[in-house]
Amino acid sequence: MARIRILPENLSNKIAAGEVVERPASVVKELVENAIDAGADRIGVEVENGGRRLIRVADNGSGMSRDDALLAIERYATSKIRHDEDLFAIQTLGFRGEALPSIASVSRFTLATRRPDDDAGTEIRVTGGQIESVRQAGVPPGTMITARDLFFNTPARRKFMKTVATEMGHIGDGLASQALGHPRIHFELQHNQRRLRRWPSANDPAERVAAVLGAALRDDLVPLALETDAVTVSGWVAAPRVNRRTSRGVHIFVNGRHVRDRTVLHAVLHGYRQRLMKGQYPVAVCHLAVPVHEVDVNVHPAKYEVRFVRQQAVHGGVAGAVQAALVSGDRRPRPSSALSSNRNPEPPHAGGVAESGPAYGRPFRPSTPVTQGGSGPRASGLKPAAPPAVIRSASPLPQPALWPGGRFAHLKIIGQFRNTYIICEAETGLILIDQHAAHERIYYEQLRKRARSRNAAAQALLVPETLELDFRAAAVLASMREGLAHVGIDIEPFGGNTFIIRSAPDFLAQSELGPMLQSIIEGAEAAGVTPDPDNLQEESLQIMACHGAIRAHQALDGREIHRLLVQLDECENPSHCPHGRPTWIRWTAGALEKAFGRIS
Ligand SMILES: Nc1ncnc2c1ncn2[C@@H]1O[C@H](COP(=O)(O)OP(=O)(O)OP(=O)(O)O)[C@@H](O)[C@H]1O
Ligand SMILES: [Mg+2]
């Protein structure tokens, strides 16, 4: 007897379900996508016990005939594609013909459906993939699918389900993403007979964004608008003062499909570069319209990933759109409603909190003291821990200079703390300068000047440095050689995956070259794109500046400190390091007095 057998259909459906139905939220996602494809403008989702006991999605879309309904639960049955070539011109969210049979194979499943013009509808019951009954039924137009007791017949999978709260979190977040992508559709979510969310149809997509992401965000949103032949970008980015600790606030849609795409995510972050600190992520809703034959959506069974034919161009378009939006946002006056919101609770000098420099990109003078972030301590005495919290929010209201003349070089130097922070006195308060961040900024601007003038002082290395890479890293480096030459780094291939660094800018220690190039290559690899010369230049300047700058824990004498302050004054943006960290913070005299209880 042959050892190899074709699997029974029910088993192959369960295998498919393993990929498509990871958890209750995946069932909701597939059913909602079907409803959207069916042209529904009202979609209701009902869940019990985090989706373990019941998941029901009802829509008012096209509905199905009895024959179609029977076909719909067969594997590889779809109304959405017909021919090979359709696979590369997908306009619908579904196309694999797998979702319904997969869900039906791992639950107690009921499909009730009626086309608007039919007198009667159809109800099909399936248990663990076996059809139990098919009957005519009086049901409203549209389709209602119920999946009960998910994974009842696959105990191993059931064990992977998390708490009700966790599963509900995934369901809620998933539905929120769908709602962001389809503002005209009315969505509702119920859990254990209680309504959790309701998003009424919105004519203005901004209304939906505010409804889903929170009305407080509304004033901080800047629209995205950019069109190239590779991609049309629309949506919103939030001002950098609104930021998160994970990338979950970045919602990406490609031709209406919610996806997680590292290239687009990287492009969004790239658009925010220097505006956010390491570890901070923006909030953004990015819609990409890409010609259908230039995007492959058939990458993953759950369709969370896509591939772009012109990846580089898409990356450039998104980064450009985000950057342009943020620049226009910088210039935009803050609406008065935002000023009364809790982000700007009181005059900046009243609270006992430290302030950091003005927002990136804003001129240093007149300076713009920073007000307290919503969550941080406020008016409660001196809180040295406050600075990280306050970086988030910068009031753009013009304020008087922080100290007369507003120059770092005029500060009275008190000394160094832990060989890391420079302590200075200004007439208005106590200033702490992060010596590494400050020097990084100085170096960065000097490098940028040189790079722009195209006369980076490259120096031939006495003993050329060799660099041995793996295949992928070597390919990335080869594609960046020209860009690197612009910043004074000459690299030659030396056979196989080995390269020789012939020259480098004179300020770079030779021992830093290898690690620096490694981090540039890794960054490019992680993004999945070869940086164009400008991006490359930017990134290498940042890394060079960081590697070349004086470190923390380095003793500086008075002359060195003074020189640093003078150079800081020469910077275009002395208040932030190239990664967006503040270079200085201040405690006002008033804040200190308050902390010591001298004034109340
Ligand atoms: N809510 C619905 N309203 C109308 N027709 C539906 C609905 N849900 C499913 N169908 C029909 O059933 C078919 C099968 O659905 P199923 O989700 O299994 O596959 P698909 O959407 O075509 O592809 P995928 O597996 O990628 O989701 C669909 O092609 C569609 O014709
Ligand atoms: Mg589907």
What is the length of the chain?
600
For every residue of 132-182, DSSP letters joined together read EEEEEE---SEEEEEEESTTTT-HHHHHT---HHHHHHHHHHHHHHHHHH-
> What residues are paired with 42 via a beta bridge?
186
Distance CA 74, CA 64 (A): 14
Q: Does ligand 1 have an atom closer than 6 angstroms to the CB of 100?
A: yes
Q: What average pLDDT does the structure give for the chain? A: 82
Beta carbon of 62 within 6 Å of any ligand 1 atom = yes
- Evaluate if residue 550 carries a pLDDT over 90: no
What is residue 321's predicted lDDT score, i.e. its pLDDT? 96
50 close to ligand 1 (CB < 6 Angstrom): no
- pLDDT tens per residue, range 488-545: 889 999 988 889 999 987 766 777 788 788 888 887 777 766 666 677 777 778 887 8
For residues 524 and 476, the answer to whether their CB atoms sit within 8 Å is: yes
Cβ atoms < 10 Å from Cβ of 328? 12
Q: Report CA 224 to chain centroid distance, whole Å.
A: 15
Angle at 296 between CA 203 and CA 157, to 5 degrees: 85
Q: By three-state DSSP, how is residue 190 classified?
A: strand
Q: What is the pLDDT of residue 405?
A: 57
User: Considering every ligand atom, which ligand is closest to the CA of 72?
Assistant: 1
Question: Which pLDDT score is estimated for 507?
Answer: 65
Q: Whose CA is nearest to atom 17 of ligand 1?
A: 99
Of all atoms in ligand 1, which is nearest to the CA of residue 81? 22
The pLDDT, as a whole number, for residue 393 is: 28
The CB of 13 under 6 Å from ligand 1? The reply is no
HSE, CB side, 13 Å, CA atoms: give it for residue 214: 8
Dist CA 385 CA 434 (whole Å): 15
Say if residues 576 and 360 touch (Cβ distance below 8 Å): yes
Would the CB of 78 count as within 6 Å of ligand 1? yes
Ligand 1 lined by 59 (C-beta under 6 Å) = yes
Whole-number Å distance, alpha carbon 276 to ligand 1 midpoint, is 42
pLDDT band at 383 (very low <50, low <70, confident <90, very high): very low
DSSP 340: T
Q: For ligand 1, is residue 79 a contact (CB within 6 Å)?
A: yes
Q: Checking phi first, is residue 434 left (phi over 0); if not, alpha (psi -120 to 50) or beta?
A: beta
Whether ligand 1 lies within 6 angstroms of the CB of 61 is answered as: yes
Quote the pLDDT of residue 533: 67
User: Coil, strand, or helix at residue 1?
Assistant: coil
Q: Which residues pair with 432 in a beta bridge?
A: 423, 585
More confident: 477 or 345: 477
Q: What percent of the chain has pLDDT over 90?
A: 45
pLDDT score recorded for residue 53: 97
Residue 542 exposed, middle or buried by CB count within 10 Å (0-12, 13-18, 19+): buried
The region of weakest confidence among 89-93, 290-294, 395-399, 581-585 is 395-399
More confidently predicted of 536 and 369 = 536
How far is the centre of ligand 1, averaged over its atoms, from the C-alpha of 208 (Å)?
A: 26
pLDDT number for residue 426: 87
Cis previous bond, 366, omega within 30 = yes
Query: Which residue among 13, 28, 29, 34 has the greatest number of ligand 1 atoms within 8 angstroms of its CB, and so is best to mutate?
Result: 34
d(CA 13, CA 8): 9
Report which of residues 178 and 220 the model is more confident about: 178
CA atoms of 79 and 97, how far apart (whole Å): 8
Average of per-residue pLDDT across 53-60: 98
Atom in ligand 1 nearest the alpha carbon of residue 94: 26
Cα(41) to ligand 1 centroid in Å equals 16
Confidence of residue 66 (pLDDT cuts 50, 70, 90): very high
Task: Give the whole-angstrom CA distance, residue 252 versus residue 250.
Answer: 6
Asked if residue 97 has its Cβ within 6 Å of ligand 1, the reply is yes
Where would I find the H helices in 332-386?
A: 336-339
- CA 173, 174, 178 angle in degrees (round to 5)? 115
Of the pLDDT bands very low, low, confident and very high (cuts 50, 70, 90), residue 324 is: very high
**Is 141 touching ligand 1 by the criterion CB < 6 Å?**
no
> In the chain, what percentage of residues exceed pLDDT 70?
85
Beta strand segments in 472-564, E: 490-493, 498-505
CA quadruple 277, 278, 283, 284: dihedral sign = positive
Confidence of residue 346 (pLDDT cuts 50, 70, 90): very low
State the closest ligand 1 atom to the C-alpha of 142, by its place in the atom list counted from 1: 3
Ligand with smallest separation from the Cα of 79? 1
Over range 95-118, report the average pLDDT.
95
Read off the pLDDT of each residue in 41-57 and give the average, rounded to a whole number.
97
Nearest bound ligand to the CA of residue 303? 1
pLDDT at 398 exceeding the cut of 80: no
Of 149-153, 244-248, 380-384, 464-468, the one with minimum mean pLDDT is 380-384
Residue 195 parent element (H or E): strand 194-199
CA distance 444 to 448: 6
- 510-527 and 533-548 helices, crossing angle to 10°: 140
> What pLDDT is attached to residue 309?
94
60 Cβ closer than 6 Å to some ligand 1 atom: no
Find the mean pLDDT for residues 349-376.
31
DSSP codes of every residue in 545-583: HHHHSPPSS----HHHHHHHHHHHHT-SSTTB-TTS-BS
474 lines ligand 1 (CB under 6 A): no
Q: Strand pairing partners for 235?
A: 224, 286
CA 462 to chain centre: 44
Helix (H) or strand (E) holding 30: helix 24-37
Amino acid at 368: T
Q: Is the pLDDT reported for residue 564 higher than 70?
A: yes
pLDDT of residue 353: 36
Reduce the DSSP state of residue 374 to 3 states and report it: coil
Residue 449: which pLDDT band, with cuts at 50, 70 and 90? confident
- Ligand 1 site, residue 34, Cβ cutoff 6 A: yes
Distance 32 CA to ligand 2 centre (A): 8
* Cβ atoms of 589 and 426 closer than 8 Å: no
Enumerate the β-bridge partners of residue 493.
499
Span from the CA of 180 to the centroid of ligand 1 (angstroms) = 21
Instruction: Tell which residue, 136, 181, 7, 289, has the closest CA to residue 173.
Output: 181
Q: Looking at the predicted structure, is the pLDDT value of residue 457 above 70?
A: no
For the segment 98-117, the average pLDDT, to the nearest whole number, is 96
Rounded to an integer, the average pLDDT of 114-141 is 96
User: Measured in angstroms, how far is the CA atom of residue 16 from the centroid of ligand 1?
Assistant: 15
At 240-271, the pLDDT tens digits run: 888 888 888 899 999 999 999 989 999 999 99
The token duo for 139 is 């049901």
For the segment 416-431, what is each residue's pLDDT rounded down to a tens digit? 999 999 999 988 889 9
The pLDDT, as a whole number, for residue 492 is: 94
**35 touches ligand 1 (CB under 6 Å):** yes
Model-level pTM greater than 0.85?
Answer: no
pLDDT in tens, 206-218: 899 989 988 778 8
Q: Rounded to whole angstroms, how far apart are CA atoms 106 and 520?
A: 46
Query: Ligand 1 pocket test: which of 30, 33, 78, 92 has the largest number of ligand atoms within 8 Å of its C-beta?
Result: 78
Centre of ligand 2 from the C-alpha of residue 15, in Å: 17
d(CA 138, ligand 2 centre) in Å: 24
- Whether residue 394 is predicted with pLDDT greater than 70 in this model: the reply is no
**Best residue for ligand 1 mutational test, from 31, 37, 41 (most atoms within 8 Å of Cβ):** 37
Q: Give distance in angstroms: CA of 255 to centre of ligand 1.
A: 18
Residue 452: pLDDT band (50, 70, 90) is: confident
